[in-house]
Structure 1
Amino acid sequence: MTQAPNIVLTGHIDVPEERREAIRAALPAHIQLTRAEPGCLSFLVVEDRCHPGRFNVSERFTDRAAFDAHQARMKSSDWATITAGIPRHYTVTEVPA
């Protein structure tokens, strides 16, 4: 039986200066909630030292269903409200488990 591929998201968000403190304040809860989700293998959001306001994102989920469940939860979260309107620059790929 073939195992479903992991779903990997990588990329960044560029946060305007006037919204950075709110993002920084909300980030620990967002990370904690995401890492507790079933199927989350890894989840990192790190502020880029070379690009002010850029937050690099890396996520890995066991399969498409886990990734989709994360996306659904996130869309109705405080994080979604706090980051509303900030463009995401993400790539989502399937990789062997």
Structure 2
Amino acid sequence: MSKIILKGYILVPEAELDLVKNALVLHRELTLEEPGCMVFSVTQSLRVPNRFDVYEEFTDSAAFEFHQSRVKASYWGQVSTNVERHYELIE
């Protein structure tokens, strides 16, 4: 088993920025409680307010797949539908 790293950024539509920022608080908490989540960091850019840098580490692909499934069925999954994702997955 090898660690899974997801890194990149998301771009949030300007009109949804407050909604996404508020939903991110619970999303972060729930993700960090997941089994196999080692690191979960989402940081808003100071220069580009609708850009958030993302860095995640999971112990293995099973933990990462669990996270992906949970997210799809979560409030965050609903709120972030229009978010543009730019990720790199490293195994």
Q: What's 1:20 paired with?
A: 17
Aligned-pair identity in percent equals 43
Equivalent positions of 1:73-84 (< 5 A) are: 73-84=70-81
Give the alignment's TM-score, normalised by structure 1: 0.91
Unaligned runs of 5+ in 2: none
Match of 2:64 in 1: 67
Cα distance in 2 for residues equivalent to 1:86 and 1:68: 20
| Residues 53-86 of structure 1 deviation map (CA, whole Å, 9 limit, x = unaligned) | 0011100000000000000000000001001022
Shift of 1:16: 1.4
SS of alignment partner, residue 47 of structure 2:
coil
> What is residue 31 of structure 1 aligned with on the other side?
28
Matched pairs, number? 91
Structure label with greater radius of gyration: 1
Cα RMSD (Å): 0.7
Q: Where does the alignment leave 5 or more consecutive residues of structure 1 unmatched? A: none
After TM superposition, what 4+ stretches of structure 1 lie above 3 angstroms from structure 2? Answer: none
Say whether 1:45 aligns with 2:81. Answer: no
Distance in 2 (alpha carbons) for counterparts of 1:57 and 1:76:
20
Q: Aligned equivalents of 1:71 and 1:16: distance in 2? A: 22
